[in-house]
Amino acid sequence: GAFSMAAGEYVSMRAQRDRFEYHLEMERGELEEFPEEETEELVLIYQAKGLTEREARTVADRIMQNPEVALDTMAREELGLNPNELGSPLGASVSSFVAFATGAAIPVFPYFLGEGTFAFSLSGVLSALTLLAVGSFLSTLSGKHILWGGVRMLLIGVSAAAVTFGIGSLVGATLL
């Protein structure tokens, strides 16, 4: 599961990064081939942000003097991209692998200590506590209420577990 999640994350991030890089290269080509039109686009963008035409033209002309600054500006203003933050497919892949492997180990661990109802119950308790803790921690990073973050993560985890358990029961897989 961890390898599958890591591979999926890598492919997803690589495709996204490839798309962003393609758009950046298209913009680079437009800047080289049609600098006047690109300058006019910048003028319009800055006018839409509240500058007068004269102010917008001054800013746009200054930006267009440096090709790399122009590309960076067009990427941010026209494409909505930050060229310095396109994401790392490898980093996302490793992060996904570690998170999935760690998360998967928690409900499996009790089965090394025993079996049947004991392992099943301990697995549920450890999983619930972990979901609450992770949800609460993540909520502190986003400024949300700590209890709501924990409960939300618990509800999502319990729902996922219930669906998985239900599917397992339908196909004849059991843990008890």
Residues 60-109: pLDDT tens digits? 999 999 999 999 999 999 888 888 788 889 999 999 999 999 988 999 99
Say what the pLDDT of residue 23 is.
93
Low-confidence ranges of the chain (pLDDT < 50): none
Res 168: pLDDT: 86
pTM above 0.75, yes or no: no
Looking at residue 111, its pLDDT comes to 93
Return the pLDDT at 132: 96
Distance between start and end Cα atoms, the chain: 22
Report yes or no: 136 and 146 within 8 Å, Cβ to Cβ: yes
| Predicted pLDDT at 88 | 87
Residues 97, 6: Cα–Cα separation, whole Å: 5
Report pLDDT for 3.
Answer: 87
Residue 174 is predicted with a pLDDT of 66
Cα distance between residue 44 and residue 16, in whole Å: 28
Q: Are 13 and 89 in contact (CB under 8 A)?
A: yes
Give the length of the chain: 176
Identify the pLDDT of residue 85: 81
